[in-house]
Every structure is written in C-alpha cells, then in structure tokens.
Amino acid sequence: MRFSVRHETLYSYESPVSLGQHRLRLSPRPGAGQLLQRALVVEPEPRAREEREDSHGNLMTVLDFGAPSRLLRVESRFEIKTAVPPPVEEAGLPALPWSRAPAVLAGCLTLDRPPGPAVVDFAQALAAEQGQRPLRFLDALTETLYRRTDRRIRDTGYAQAPEETLLRAEGACRDLAVLFIACCRLVGLPARFASGYQAQAESVDGQRHLHAWPEVFLPGAGWRGFDPTHGQRVSDGHVVLCAAPGQGETMPVEGSYYGPPVAAELRYRVEIETSE
C-alpha cells in the first residue's frame, strides 16, 4: 500500500520562550517499508539539527534552538510503500506460558508495576480458553478487546493503567495497546508499544490521528503487530514510526521550554492518503 502522510504540530506560547532541546520521532522506522520521499520542516529554524537512531532502532531528529520564540511548528511529510508481511504459522511456536527469551528482549517482558488481579485473571483465562496456543491467544485478545471496548479519542496524556481500561471497558488506542502488552507479558510473550499511522479513515471523531498498537516478538517471524482498536492483525495498512518497550519512548515530539510561566496551546493536524 502507498501512504502519503502530512502531520503538522503547532505549539503556541503567550509570550516568547526559550526552547530547550527537542527530539522528534516523526519519520518512518527503518524497515517500515520503501521510503519514497521525506521532508521535515521546523519553525523557528533550529541552530543545530542531527538525525540518529535511538537505542530501540527508531529514527530520531534532535533539535537545538537559539533565540526565543512564540511558537514551535513541526511539519512532517513522507511517502512510503508498505508490504504485506509473510504469514505466521502456529506450528513450531511453544505453548504458553513462555519462560525463556533472549536477554535483549528483557525490557519487553518486564511489568513496571503490577497490572492488577483483574488483568491477571483475564489474560490467564483467555490463554486457557485458546489451549495455550500463542497465535490463537493473540488473535483472541485482539478480537476480545475490540469487541468489548468503547473506543475513544484522547488528544493528550499517557495511557491509562491496564486494569482501568479493562474494568471500564473504554479507552483510546494507546490504552488498548498498553492493556494488550500487559496481557502478553503476563503469559511470557515479549511485547512492545508501537506508534504510527493506519490506513482506515474511520475514527470516533471523523479526524485522522497518530495511532498506537502493540507488537509481539514471535520466534522465526520477528516483531508482529496486532491492532485491538480495529480488531485485526497489522499488515500493509499500518506505518510504524517508532517502537519501544513503553509509550514514553515513542513520543512524536519531546522537549521543553523555559522562562516565565506562560499559557501554551497545542494543535495538530494529520492528513493521510492511501492507494493500492
């Protein structure tokens, strides 16, 4: 699938502020597809700009600024061609729960805090219902969260706690991703948080937004995405910008400003066009 994406982010300040270092994660992750073109426009013009890969293999643009400014505007544009990933077979995958994984995946198995007894019971019961088969568990988890959750848009803020999303049965895509990740880690499946765009125009507010979904590491197949917000496996209809063990390491624009306290406003606009 061919994607054409334009994503504009605008921070406005009541009076001029000094902008600290900013880190942008708005370019497709290496391996996301065939990148056809890419442009990143920043206003005010940074006095220094460097592109590097972070510790998780995401492409990151690091910016340093000079004179104070009343705005920070970032416009990302790119075109990319995605491909359908090879099929994954259940045969050969060990039964759940998994107890071994390469050391490099340790961060994608760690639960930062207890997810709560309701999440533990939910994950273990679902795994048992699916005969402890990993792919069956992942597909059932995707479908179950899609079917039972009232999906909403929250423009800002970190994800809810997994148990809150499960018990309230409502949340944004990042909430579902974090709940999905917790369920996977409870049965020994390495899982991480992915951020990017998806082709489906359907959203509860009729607008386009940055999207989030979980990815799971499967031996022989690598990292594979599942989208509980849309009830499907991730295929060529998604473009991943970045992936990391937690949401905090996938923020599209990360930075600070300093000076006297001022009122600030954030606005953004996402435009996505797709073709086969």
Q: Are residues 151 and 264 in the same domain?
A: no
What's the rounded mean pLDDT across residues 54-63?
A: 97
Q: Are residues 31 and 129 in the same domain?
A: no
Of 259 and 5, the one with more pLDDT: 5
Determine how many CB atoms are found less than 10 A away from the CB of residue 272.
Answer: 18
Q: Are residues 63 and 115 in the same domain?
A: no
pLDDT surpasses 80 at 131: yes
Strand-by-strand arrangement of the 22-24 sheet: 48-53, 59-64, 22-24, 253-254
pLDDT value for 203? 63
Structure confidence by residue, pLDDT tens digits, 13-45? 999 999 999 999 999 999 999 999 999 999 999
Residues 44, 48, 54, 58, Cα dihedral to 10°: 50
Q: Name the band, by pLDDT with cuts 50, 70 and 90, for residue 259.
A: confident
pTM: 0.94
Q: Name the band, by pLDDT with cuts 50, 70 and 90, for residue 152.
A: confident
Q: Which among 74, 32, 26, 80 is positioned nearest to 51, based on CA atoms?
A: 26
pLDDT surpasses 70 at 157: no
Structure confidence by residue, pLDDT tens digits, 262-271? 999 999 999 9
pLDDT value for 235? 96
Q: Are residues 17 and 72 in the same domain?
A: yes
Q: Are residues 123 and 162 in the same domain?
A: yes
Listed range (7-11, 53-57, 75-79, 202-206) with the worst mean pLDDT: 202-206
Q: What tokens appear for 217 in the block? A: 């590491």
What's the rounded mean pLDDT across residues 90-110?
A: 92
Q: Name the band, by pLDDT with cuts 50, 70 and 90, for residue 249.
A: very high
* 184-209 burial code (b ≥16 CB/10 A, e <16): bbbbbbbbbbbbbbbbeeeeeeeebb
Q: Are residues 166 and 263 in the same domain?
A: no
Domain range for 79: 2-83+252-275
Rg (CA), the chain: 19
Residue 148 has φ and ψ, to the nearest 5°, of: -95, -5
| DSSP at 260 | S
Spatial separation of the C-alpha atoms in residues 245 and 252, rounded to whole Å:
15
Spatial separation of the C-alpha atoms in residues 243 and 104, rounded to whole Å:
14
Determine how many CB atoms are found less than 10 A away from the CB of residue 148.
Answer: 11
pLDDT value for 156? 59
Q: Residue 271 carries which side chain, given as an amino acid letter?
A: E
Note whether residue 92 is domain-resident: no
For residue 145, give Cα distances in angstroms to 24, 62, 63, 164, 254. Answer: 30, 36, 38, 13, 30
Q: Are residues 147 and 258 in the same domain?
A: no
Q: Are residues 199 and 153 in the same domain?
A: yes
Spatial separation of the C-alpha atoms in residues 180 and 193, rounded to whole Å:
10
